[in-house]
Amino acid sequence: MSNRLKVAPNDLSAFWMPFTANRQFKQAPRMLVAAKDMHYTSSDGRQILDGTAGLWCVNAGHCRPKITEAIQKQAAELDYAPAFQMGHPIVFELANRLVDIAPEGMEHVFFTNSGSESVDTALKIALGYHRVKGEGSRFRLIGRERGYHGVNFGGISVGGIVTNRKMFGTLLTGVDHMPHTHLPGKNTFTRGVPEHGGDLADELERIVTLHDASTVAAVIVEPVAGSTGVLIPPKGYLQRLRDICTKHGILLIFDEVITGFGRLGTPFAADYFGVTPDIMVTAKGVSNGVIPMGAVFVTKEIHDAFMTGPEHLIEFFHGYTYSGNPIASAAALATLETYKEEGLLTRGAELAPYWEDALHSLKDAPNVIDVRNIGLVGAIELKPIDGQPTKRAFSAFVKAFEKGCLIRTTGDIIALSPPLIIEKNQIDELIDCIRDVLNTVD
Ligand code: PXG
Ligand code: PLP
């Protein structure tokens, strides 16, 4: 293993790293070379406690035997099958199993390879649906400030993160945004769902009135906004969005790329909040992050609306070479089996109270201005250094890695989302590590 651990700095230049401070990284690389269950192994041989499930995706923990074996077996048996006009049994089996655990009403699944692709697929389904129903005038898409919907053009258009949009021209036209729901000062140090801000959903009614409902195709939101720093929907907010969409014939899309597959202690956020969308976007946890895969769930009504016209014609002109590919499908099936055997889709609910107390014990640590939590997600918001936003959190991230725990930062917010197999003593270890870091970082 030792040769694999060593990469000389001048070998690092060819790879242009995604969402990374490339120059900083290449001066002081943080390399991971192995993983097992709750831990990574770093290139200098240290065990790193994974406080982020990779990038919010390794929900069952790392290198789980069932998933590894399924991939190995599938790779040796049927490596690839054309995704268009051909099939292979395992992807049909997977779709059935996914529909079994999905919220009531989600009856069909379209496969992609990432959250970004799932988002763009969902937006296209929404536009196509209205058109096949004879309502092609519904072309507008409504997202939300601070929303993250991946990095493809559809996703950044409906997304609301300025840095992800500003370089890329006019984006999709016909898009509007609702305000985000973060109300510092009102909901600070809230445990779980915040009290204030449910009425912000009424902004949707205002936007729909402005454009006229007959021009609006869909509204897309993350039930809990993850990437932008864990913004939890205020009490009643999502139900109000649902009611407004239903009233005006607008499709409601939940982007559950992070919240899906047990993150909140229920299979999906739709279950947690008791609000069912028309389209549900997933990725990440569907295959435990092991092999790229995304899945878009739709209602029977949406699916069936496309199933018209001569039967030899393609109904929906969309799909990817790797949609539902055999190895990803095998990985996803084994992932679902692992979730089921270990009760992982609901384990977060059992751990949530302990997790909440542990997180909120950081309330009095230096520079902490807010703590938020829901399910097995947490956020610790830090006071930015004057004139140097993001620097304090980034230093905390680097220091935490040196101390042996992997955390994630966005802006000056530390976001946590451990694998759902985490034990209570590991929660303590993670929180103690962060407390130490906050006590020492500038
Ligand atoms: N929608 C949501 C809600 C997401 O969180 C995507 C779409 C895009 O998925 P892909 O697979 O195309 O990356 C995401 C992804 C972070 C972080 O730490 C979040 C994501 C990805 C990487 C890092 O905030 N979310
Ligand atoms: N599939 C998966 C992956 C699950 O996690 C669960 C329950 O948690 C189910 C299916 C439903 O299983 P059962 O019918 O045994 O309740």
**Atom 6 of ligand 2 has which residue's CA nearest to it?**
340
CB atoms within 10 A of CB 26: 16
Distance 222 CA to ligand 2 centre (A): 24
Mean pLDDT of all residues in 151-168: 98
CATH 3.40.640.10 occupies which residues in the chain?
Answer: 67-342
According to the model, what pLDDT value does residue 442 have? 86
- What is the number of other CB atoms lying within 10 angstroms of the CB of residue 126? 25
Residue 7 has pLDDT above 80, yes or no: no
| DSSP codes, 246-289 | HHHT-EEEEE-TTTTTTTTSSSSHHHHHT---SEEEE-GGGGTT
Split at pLDDT 50, 70, 90, the class of 4 is: low
Mean pLDDT (the chain, rounded)? 97
**What pLDDT, on a 0 to 100 scale, did the predictor assign at position 1?**
44
Nearest by Cα to 371 from 361, 384, 381 = 381
Q: How far is CA 34 from CA 5, 40, 64, 124, 338, in A?
A: 10, 6, 13, 38, 20
**418, 426 in Cβ contact below 8 A?**
yes
Residue limits of CATH 3.90.1150.10 in the chain: 2-51+343-440
- pLDDT, tens digit, 9 for 90 and up, residues 93-134: 999 999 999 999 999 999 999 999 999 999 999 999 999 999
- pLDDT reported for residue 166: 97
- 203 Cα distance to chain centroid: 24
What is the C-alpha to C-alpha distance for residues 104 and 102, in angstroms, rounded to an integer? Answer: 6
As a whole number, mean pLDDT of residues 47-56 equals: 98
Average pLDDT over residues 218-231: 98
* Average of per-residue pLDDT across 208-212: 98
Residue among 284, 394, 412, 413 to mutate when testing ligand 1 (max atoms within 8 A of CB):
284
Q: Which CATH code for domain 2-51+343-440?
A: 3.90.1150.10
Q: Which atom of ligand 1 is nearest to the CA of 115?
A: 9
pLDDT of residue 84: 97
**Residue 6 predicted with pLDDT over 70:** no
Candidate from 339, 344, 347, 420 with most ligand 2 atoms within 8 A of CB, to mutate: 339
Quote the ligand 1 centre to 27 CA distance (angstroms): 26
Residue 3 clears pLDDT 70, i.e. is over it: no
Q: How far apart are CA 127 and CA 136, in angstroms?
A: 8
> What type of residue is 161?
I
67-342: CATH topology: Aspartate Aminotransferase; domain 2 (3.40.640)
Residue 88 above 80 pLDDT? Answer: yes
Query: In this structure, what token pair is assigned to residue 152?
Result: 């493809």
Q: Atom of ligand 1 at shortest distance to CA of 118?
A: 7
pLDDT value at 352 more than 80: yes
Residue 292 above 80 pLDDT?
A: yes
